[in-house]
Structure formats: structure tokens, C-alpha cells
Structure 1
């Protein structure tokens, strides 16, 4: 049996990673999230965006994969193939033990030049407290180094998207966990699975537009639903 997992912010939130508005110091509360998550924001204020992502990387390092992440990794011991497709830019799936992870929206811990596109092995400073603005480092070509993530106003990179489509097409079952299912084109993956007649299991704390169409909807957390699920999936597929 082949399993594809499509994950969103909900599974990372279970590890305790705070959302934009949860910053204890309220340092970025005066800014719209679009300002630090868009190519327009980067072009206007790269120091602000770099400060934001530097702090987000600091936070992500402090939190550990949860039972949901570890359960998905454990499925590799019970089924033929497990592929993770995630909208998250953290590395909790990898740290949880998953071996095949496709990041649709990039990775916050990798970097590239905003001009020449060359990857850069950038080491972020260790910040005990958030800093509002930090000047990004420069590339040899003179361009600024940026996080290798997909911002608002940018297209998804072809490689992870094509890999995600292939994984959905090859899967017997798609597990959709912790995502609202409203951000396109990523949200089209569960729709594609349903059109192909795949078994689709949704795990989410709240109903979404996908809930009524899913084969099974479990209104609960990833940590509660995913451990032990691999053994039960065979009954759904068979």
C-alpha cells in the first residue's frame, strides 16, 4: 500500500510553534503578515523580512516534532511507501523521521540569492530575543540572500509540485492533516485524489470545504489520530 500525506500548519502548531500574532513581545504585531511574507514586502523592506525569518528559524529550532510527525515516520515500517507533501516551511517532518518530504512552499532553513538564484550556506545568528530589522547578507554577485521559501506573489517551484502530483497519483490513500484546504494550487491535490477515486482521509480540528467530500473526516488533532493509523488504513483501501 502506498500512502501520501498532505500536511499544513495545523500539525506544526501542535508542536507549539506560535503563529504570527503569538509573538510574546508583540514586535511584529503592527505589521500585516503580508509585509513579511510577500515578494513585495521583501522588495520594500528586506531588513524587516530577514529579521522576521531569522526569528522564526530561532523559534522552529526550539520545538520538537510531535506524535503526529513521528507517527507518519513510523508508517514507513508498516506500508510499502510513505510520501509527505507539506505546505510547511519548517523541518519537523524530517526531524520526526520521515525520509521522503516534498516542501511545496520551500524551506526556511535553506537560502538563495535573490538575484542570481544560487543557493547559499548561510548561518543565522543566535538571537536570545527577536530583532525587528536585520540586514540580509550579500551574495558574491551583489544580490541579497533570502529564505528559500515561496512568498505571496510567487509561483510554486516545479520540482516539488511535480513530485507532489506524482505522489498523489501513485498513492492508494491520501491523508490530509492540519490544513484549511483553501490555499491554491496546493488545495487542488486532495481534489485530484478524489477525482482519481483515491481514499482520502482528512484529519483536522475544524471542518473545511474538503470535509464533506472526504472518504473519512476525523475532527481531531494529528497527535490523537495518526499513531496506529497505518494498520487501519488497509481496511479502508481493501
Structure 2
């Protein structure tokens, strides 16, 4: 519990949370850029190549093998940050969560207004007929033929509903995020280095009173913030008496 943060939340009537990978690391999901992150592991190709639209098109089986091994997580549960944000929404304080994460943990914690800028591993769709499939369908394809998940209706490839490198963000999701941030009186930025664009550029739409940055490392937004907390986000958001 951080008294300065609680004081800001106590007077806020329209708070929006903007988060990145650091929000989920406390749930056991590794991020991309830390020392132990995906970008520091050794693969046949760089991760940003293997998670690109071009690689998906030209090395489809290898893409799915990498995707299943590195982006689908098992057993992860919402942590103190996810749970607090859901409580703040129920209390009428948090109006929206804007996230770069694709793990669905905000919804699992109970948050209802969540704008997933980069999509979700939990949604998968046939690129030919549009039929949706759960994440288990992608996993089960690992033991079938070339490992490429194919639609049971039309045989089209079932693609994860995540934004790959070289792909644009969903326009409606971006518009919703911009509208929420522009209307906020408090913006909490947490667990993100603010290095990924265009997502990081959303901060320029904030015109409210208090910008709070919670991140273990410095960010480009620190100089503009009302409050900067260099600590784990679950620790910063945890309330006394709550998980």
C-alpha cells in the first residue's frame, strides 16, 4: 500500500489503467525485454521475426510451434494488480483497462472494460470462414500432421487473434482506448517500458490531473508524472487486507 497513490485514487472519479508485460510477470508470465525475457533467449531466428506476419505466412508450421511453446501459458492466475483493478472498476473508479498483454488475466480477475491492444491468445479464428476456436484447439494441433491448426468446418488455417509484427492494431480497440484515456482524470501506467509503438503513443491523449507511473525501471513518461513508483505493480496496488 502506497499512501501517495491511495490519496490520488481516493479523489479520482475516472481512472484509466494502461499496462504492459510487467503486470503479468507477478503471475509467472515472462516479459519480452528483461534479462530473462523472450528477447534474451536463443532461438533459430529472433523472436520478433518468428512473431511476424511474414514468418507466419512463410514458415507457418514453425510459427505455430514457437507460438505454442512461448506464448501460450498454463496455470497463470491474476495477481494483486489485476485483482485491485477489478475492485476499482466495481467501485466505479476505474473506467477502463488498456493493456498490451494477450493473456486475458484482467478479465479473469473480473475487469469488464478491457481494451486489448495486441489481442488475446484465448481467441483464435479461421482465416477463411471466421469461425472462432478456444486456445485448446491451437494446442491440440501440435500432435496432428504438420502442427498447423485447421478449421473443422472449411479447412482454413486457425490463426491466433493476436497482433503480430508487421500487422496493424485493431482500429476500434485503439479508438476506444483513446476515448477512455482522453476522458480520464487519472491515468496509471504500469508494468511497461513504453517502448512499443503505437501503443505507447496513447499517453499523449491524456489531459487529466494525475499521471502515475509504476514500473521497476525508468520510463520516458517519468518526467511528466505526478507520482513515480519504481516497484512491482502488485506491491504498489495491493490494499491492506486484500490479496
TM bucket (normalised to shorter chain) is 0.7 to 0.9
Other-structure match for 1:202: 213
- Per the TM alignment, residue 182 of structure 1 is displaced from its structure 2 partner at its CA by 1.8
* CA–CA separation in structure 1 for the residues paired with 2:81 and 2:53: 32
- Per the TM alignment, residue 79 of structure 1 is displaced from its structure 2 partner at its CA by 3.5
Aligned CA distance change for structure 1 residues 145 and 125 (closer, same or farther; 3 Å):
closer
* CA–CA separation in structure 2 for the residues paired with 1:40 and 1:203: 34
Q: Secondary structure of 1:187's match?
A: helix
Other-structure match for 2:81: 68
- Per the TM alignment, residue 125 of structure 1 is displaced from its structure 2 partner at its CA by 6.2
The question of whether the paired residues in 1 share the 8 Å contact of 2:72 and 2:121 is answered with: no
* CA–CA separation in structure 1 for the residues paired with 2:223 and 2:238: 24
* CA–CA separation in structure 1 for the residues paired with 2:157 and 2:110: 33
Other-structure match for 2:117: 104
* CA–CA separation in structure 1 for the residues paired with 2:237 and 2:113: 17
* CA–CA separation in structure 2 for the residues paired with 1:22 and 1:184: 19
Other-structure match for 2:160: 147
**Which of 164, 167, 184 in structure 1 is aligned with 2:177?**
164
Q: Secondary structure of 2:137's match?
A: coil
Other-structure match for 2:56: 42
- Per-residue CA shift, 1:27-76, capped at 9, x if unaligned? x73331023211011011111222222334642x3111111111111112
Aligned CA distance change for structure 1 residues 58 and 149 (closer, same or farther; 3 Å):
closer
Structure 2: gaps (5+ residues): 1-12
2:29 aligned with 1:17? yes
**Which of 48, 54, 59 in structure 1 is aligned with 2:68?**
54
* CA–CA separation in structure 2 for the residues paired with 1:143 and 1:125: 13
After TM superposition, the structure 1 stretch with the greater mean CA deviation from structure 2, 28-37 or 171-180, is 28-37
Other-structure match for 1:188: 201
Q: Compute the RMSD of aligned alpha carbons.
A: 2.7
Other-structure match for 1:235: none
The question of whether the paired residues in 1 share the 8 Å contact of 2:183 and 2:208 is answered with: no
TM-score by length of structure 1 reads 0.82
Q: Secondary structure of 1:108's match?
A: strand
2:238 aligned with 1:224? no
